[in-house]
Amino acid sequence: MSETPTLPRRYLIVGPSWVGDMVMSQSLFITLKQRFPDCEIDVVAPPWSLPVLKRMPEVRSGIALPVEHGRFGLRARYRLGRSLRTKAYTHAIVLPRSWKSALLPWFAGVPARTGYRGELRYGLLNDIRRLDRAMLRQTVQRYVALGFDAAPATAPAVPLPVLETSRRNSERLIGTLGLELSRPVVCLMPGAEYGPAKQWPVGYYAQLAAKLAGSGFSIWVLGSAKESALGENITQALGAAGRNLCGRTELVDVVDLLAMATQVVTNDSGLMHIAAAVGARLNVIYGSSTPDYTPPLADTASLNIFYQALTCSPCFRRVCPLGHTNCLNGIDVESVYTKMLR
């Protein structure tokens, strides 16, 4: 008597809203593919992240959540969830810990719905995990642990995210932005969406840029339109060696620009995680956060971490509660420059 073939697992993942968290979630997708090679993975995500999800080969498709960040959007979640019933998902994993984020898999009728204990999600989730903060210290470890059928007894191994790059898009960007690669490129990313307690002073970035330009590097400043003024402050004295690209690119373009860089200097931000995922040599500056919690997922041989570990650190605050931001101000330009050239 022949055995009935087992159908592949079909995963519906409710992804996070932040850029860095979405990149870190690729470690979960890789883990699922390692454990169940024929599984299918769809990810519900904010519209801005869909092009980035296309650079993750483990993801079959990204599904736009038509709800603004921070909004409840019950009707939109219900409609989307009901429309997904025809997909016949077998498993759902909910990465955010909010009550509203668990609604979609329930509306979609997914039989196995996994996530961490959060805001009264009993019933919406039927595989509720207790978050062991002592064992799962890093955000990415917490994501990967949900890829197992039961909570692992030890912190799971974390595969490094690897975003695919596009040579065609790189060539397009070089042409449309008027870039040239005759000198090695250093990308600077002075922004941090979280708040100023994560941002190394822009004056320090400007000093570092001047020293690097004098050593033969081209400087590209990357960020959103909100960081355009920061980029101008950094590049205004560099002449042809500096390019302020803040607000001139889409998020997926940053993937390809970072892949062209010799080195990257960045705050603990979403773009830092993208830089790590394209294999850039990283120099990461930490302020109110800590590399123990949100480390760049990169080869340690291509990584410099600048973190002072003051007695008040990490506070995880958006603005320094003591008013001095010494955790950032105390990281001097010369030490960063020296380590970059070492």
pTM of the model: 0.92
**pLDDT tens readout for residues 139-195:** 999 999 999 999 999 999 999 999 999 999 999 999 999 998 999 999 999 988 888
Beta-bridged to residue 67, according to DSSP, are none
Residue owning tokens 């207790």: 130
Q: Are residue 133 and residue 258 in the same domain, yes or no?
A: no
CA-CA-CA-CA torsion sign (139, 253, 53, 148): negative
Q: How many domains does the chain have?
A: 2
Q: Of 145, 175, 202, which marks where a domain is finished?
A: 145
Res 1: pLDDT: 44
Within-domain flag for 217: yes
Q: How many CB atoms lie within 10 A of CB 248?
A: 16
Q: Are residue 192 and residue 120 in the same domain, yes or no?
A: no
Res 69: pLDDT: 65
Question: CATH no. for residue 136?
Answer: 3.40.50.2000
Range from 100-104, 117-121, 170-174, 282-286 carrying the lowest mean pLDDT: 117-121
Q: Are residue 220 and residue 259 in the same domain, yes or no?
A: yes
Q: CA distances (Å), 228 to each of 105, 141, 190, 236, 247, in order? A: 39, 34, 10, 12, 6
Backbone angles phi, psi at 129, to 5 degrees: -100, 145
Res 320: pLDDT: 93
Q: Are residue 190 and residue 259 in the same domain, yes or no?
A: yes
Q: Are residue 108 and residue 22 in the same domain, yes or no?
A: yes
Q: Are residue 202 and residue 320 in the same domain, yes or no?
A: yes
In Å, how far from its chain's centre is CA 163?
Answer: 11
Q: Are residue 232 and residue 184 in the same domain, yes or no?
A: yes
Q: Is 188 helix (H, G, I), strand (E, B) or coil?
A: strand
Q: Are residue 103 and residue 251 in the same domain, yes or no?
A: no
Within-domain flag for 120: yes
Within-domain flag for 184: yes
Within-domain flag for 155: no
**Residue 338 pLDDT grade (very low, low, confident, very high; cuts 50, 70, 90):** very high
Q: How many CB atoms lie within 10 A of CB 68?
A: 12
Q: Which domain holds residue 309?
A: 167-341
In Å, how far from its chain's centre is CA 53?
Answer: 11
Q: Are residue 296 and residue 225 in the same domain, yes or no?
A: yes
DSSP 161: P
Q: Are residue 199 and residue 281 in the same domain, yes or no?
A: yes
Q: Structure tokens of 316? A: 């995880």
DSSP 63: E
Beta-bridged to residue 256, according to DSSP, are none
